[in-house]
Amino acid sequence: MRLPLTPFKERSDIFKNRESGFTLLELVIAMALGLVILGAMYSVFTVHQKTFRLQEHIAEMQQNARAAMDMISREIKLAGYNPSNAAFAGISYNASYLQLKADLNRDGIIYGAHENVIYGFDAANGRITRDTGYGAEPMVDNVHSFTFEYLDKNGYPATMTGEIRQMRISIVLKAAQPDPSYSHPVFADHYRRYTLTSLVIPRNLNL
């Protein structure tokens, strides 16, 4: 007759349970490896997030520059529109600001919405302003420079209102936020810049 093996079997199960667990050292090592992996993942995520934000700022900068140039160019092309032969200059020579006039409503009087527009550069606040008769209002921010050149019909600098036949416009915008990994070769700062230049011919001044 064999003796029951139940006590030995229970003790064997206890040993098996002990062997299937983790020691404190193993848990510490596992946690350390987990922290290393999480740290690496966080670093990658941070780099991608910074890159995304940088690309977003660059795209916004370029879009703002193009939108401003498009509006200014469009109004330069309208300058001098004068179906009633009224006495006014479509573009008046002025080194401080750009003034554009057009008789859009054909009443022979330069008065009304967008018929007398003045563009200026607010260097203190870094912005291009637009004045339609109600005071200078911000048009685009983060502007590094805004320049305009008056040219005659041959492309040479014009110094008198009657000589103006072309306009060369240049807008330089800088990013809204600095990029610590970038150093501008000229200005020695961390702001990326975008330059947009356009030669515009006001068709109404050639009449």
Dump pLDDT digits (tens) for 136-178. 999 999 999 999 999 999 999 999 999 999 999 999 999 988 8
Pick the closest to residue 73 from 206, 189, 203 (CA basis).
203
- pLDDT given for residue 47 in this prediction: 63
- pLDDT given for residue 154 in this prediction: 94
The residue ranges of every structural domain in the chain are: 40-77+122-206
Do the beta carbons of residue 131 and residue 117 sit within 8 Å? yes
Please state, in angstroms and rounded to a whole number, the distance separating the CA atoms of residues 204 and 207. 6
Do the beta carbons of residue 86 and residue 104 sit within 8 Å? no
Whether the pTM exceeds 0.95: the reply is: no
